[in-house]
Amino acid sequence: MLNRLRERVAGVMDPVGRAISRAGIGPNAVTVLGLIICLISAAIFGLGNQALGGLVLLIGGFFDVLDGAVARASGRETRFGGFLDSTADRYADLLLFSGIMFATVSGSIQEPGFMAGQGWIWSLAALSGSLMVSYVRARAEAAGSGRMDVGIMERAERLILLGIGGLLSLTCYALVIIAVLSHLTVLHRIIEARKRLG
């Protein structure tokens, strides 16, 4: 959903991408930097600091958009760059939800309405849903479905929701929304793939 909006704002990001490219920084380096920022966010969440973790995560999400702008500005859009970006995104998801899972198990993150330690269940559900959203898209497109970006809970939505949830110290509630909507997105894509692939 927001991925379509990202294409519209690509022109706004291009001047930033050109500036970074002129500084000699390549798109793959930006991708790796974004992954490192997500790792830092995961560690902060793991220590129980939801607000700072959410803020750092939103900054990391900016780099998730920026690597494409740098690639366009430098004329270095490659298939490997897309592969690296997708791989880094999966690691970032694993790190983030694992950090939150650790915090909920250890009691560093406790929120009203959730029993002690219950948050790890929603962390696991959100993580599995996030990975399956990406897997179903990749598998459908490899089978010839065309671009499979249907659904309401793609990666951009997950990052923003989790970042805002952290800022408001409502991380567990954000996990519930991500978990439910991610698995609904998987179902949506399966139905759409069935229509397209026959």
Contact predicate 76/43, CB 8 Å: no
- pLDDT for res 116: 64
Q: Say how many C-beta atoms besides its own lie within 10 A of residue 127's C-beta.
A: 21
3-state secondary structure of 128: helix
Interatomic CA distance for residues 106 and 40, integer angstroms: 18
- pLDDT for res 67: 80
Interatomic CA distance for residues 59 and 36, integer angstroms: 11
What's the topology of domain 2-197?
A: Four Helix Bundle (Hemerythrin (Met), subunit A) (1.20.120)
Of 126, 91, 130, 123, nearest to 104 (Cα)?
Answer: 123
Domain locations in the chain?
A: 2-197
Token look-up 């490899």 returns 142
Q: Establish whether 93 is a catalytic residue.
A: no
pLDDT by residue, tens only, the chain of 198 residues: 555 555 555 566 777 778 888 888 888 898 999 999 999 999 999 999 999 999 999 998 888 778 877 887 777 788 898 899 999 999 999 999 999 999 998 888 888 877 666 888 999 999 999 999 999 999 999 999 999 989 899 888 999 999 999 999 999 999 999 999 999 999 999 999 999 998
- pLDDT for res 72: 79
- pLDDT for res 7: 58
- pLDDT for res 6: 54
Which of these is catalytic: 64, 67, 85, 89? 89
Interatomic CA distance for residues 179 and 175, integer angstroms: 6
